[in-house]
Amino acid sequence: MNKKKLAQFHSQLESIRSELMGGVEKSNLGVKENEVGQVADISDDAARTYNRQLEGELEEQEWKKLKQVDNAIEKINTGEYGICTQCETTIPEARLEVVPYTEFCTQCLSEMEKNPKATTITEKNPFEEN
Ligand SMILES: [Zn+2]
């Protein structure tokens, strides 16, 4: 991958990262927004109340995504960006353009989808036992 392309992915990742950080920070601080919030319209507040119900789940997803983004940035720094973590083949740039923080090539990903238990790191649902 050429440097220009790499720099492009890097800035893309950075912007995704700061977006995620903003979201995570907000939910951690318990939404304090007196200074800036005055300007926000009312619908934003309504949406927030609604979103709060989903927050727990969303937060976890955001953390996961944030971690992936961090990994990807790290890989750019070490020169390993765009290489599948699983099989170590080069991930097509077209795919990276869609999901710049992806860790896996499409083939590995589809295999994981077929067999999710093999890759999920023992996050077993305790209620699942029958
Ligand atoms: Zn792969």
Where residue 79 falls among pLDDT bands split at 50, 70, 90?
very high
The whole-model pTM stands at 0.64
Structure-token match 């750019």, residue found: 76
Expressed in angstroms and rounded, the spacing between residue 28 Cα and the centre of ligand 1 is: 35
> How many angstroms separate the alpha carbon of residue 81 from the centre of ligand 1?
13
Lowest mean pLDDT among 44-53, 79-88, 96-105, 120-129: 120-129
Our count of domains for the chain comes to: 1
CATH code of 76's domain: 1.20.120.910
Residue 90 belongs to domain spanning: 3-128
Burial class (CB in 10 A: 0-12, 13-18, 19+), 19: middle
Q: Which residues surround ligand 1, an ion (CB under 5 A)?
A: 84, 86-87, 105, 108
d(CA 42, CA 118): 46
Burial 80-100 (b: 16+ CB within 10 A, else e): ebbbbeeeeeebeeeebeeeb
45-73 confidence digits (pLDDT tens): 666 665 555 567 778 888 899 999 999 99
Give me ligand 1 centre to Cα 44, in Å: 41
- C-alpha 4 to ligand 1 mean position (Å): 24
